[in-house]
Amino acid sequence: MGEEMNVEREYGNWLDEVDSVSPPDFFTAVLDELYARGPNPQETAQAQEQLRRAMASVGHERMYYDVLPRSPIGSVYIALSERGVVAIDFSDGEEAFLSWIRKRTGVYPLRSPERTAEATHQVEEYLAGKRAAFDLPIDMRFLTDFQRTVLRAVMKVPRGEVITYGALARVIGQPKAARAVGRALGSNPIPIVIPCHRVLASDGSLGGYSGRGGVRTKADLLRLEGVSL
């Protein structure tokens, strides 16, 4: 018993000596300081938002997105479901785009350059004048029947050609629906790939365009396709 007490006493003395002569090393001191500060509020908020998006997608289909940061019309955001392209946007920025996707589809898209690589590549080629047509699946499930009818019809307008709103209304068998056709085109969620820019007013003027730059961008896209204005 006495021998055990001596061992404990000697061990305790050794610990006291270590504590008295060995200050915390640099890395321990840095870690202690970081732990004392707590997490960065901005990084915490970002992590929480990413977690919310991931949890919202559990049990649902997946949606992916990425951005083409530089193009003749600025940043272009592209979102895809497992079935095809759901949205292309170049107007209000990333947060507005993600909010719009969530509201429209009920799914938070997750950023994935890998999943969206082909779509991003084709859009980039088109805007650089290196691609004449797209070879991408399109997901129109989140549109009304009328919107789908109008957008499928405008997809048949060849590159380098234009059509009027009235003529497109006649193509779909609703000659009095030119205004409704215009509204459907104005809410086209997949511009460029679905070429609503090829539709003009009855007097040959450009009409409207909802993307960044308005009718100026519409004119640029038409010129890119070889249309004389």
Q: For residues 142 and 179, is the Cβ–Cβ distance under 8 A?
A: no
What's the sign of the alpha-carbon dihedral 161, 165, 167, 170? positive
**How many Å is the maximal CA-CA distance in the chain?**
110
Share in percent of the chain as helix, strand, coil (round to 5): 50, 10, 40
Beta bridge partners of 110: 64
Which residue type, as a one-letter code, is found at position 121?
H
CA 169 centroid distance within chain: 31
CA-closest candidate to residue 90, choices 104, 113, 74: 74
- DSSP H helical segments within 75-173, as ranges? 94-105, 117-127, 145-154, 165-171
Catalytic residue flag (residue 196): yes
Beta bridge partners of 64: 80, 110
Catalytic residue among 196, 200, 221, 222: 196
Paired tokens of 66: 């990425």
Pairwise CA distance, residues 45 & 48, whole Å: 5
What residues are annotated to the active site? 196
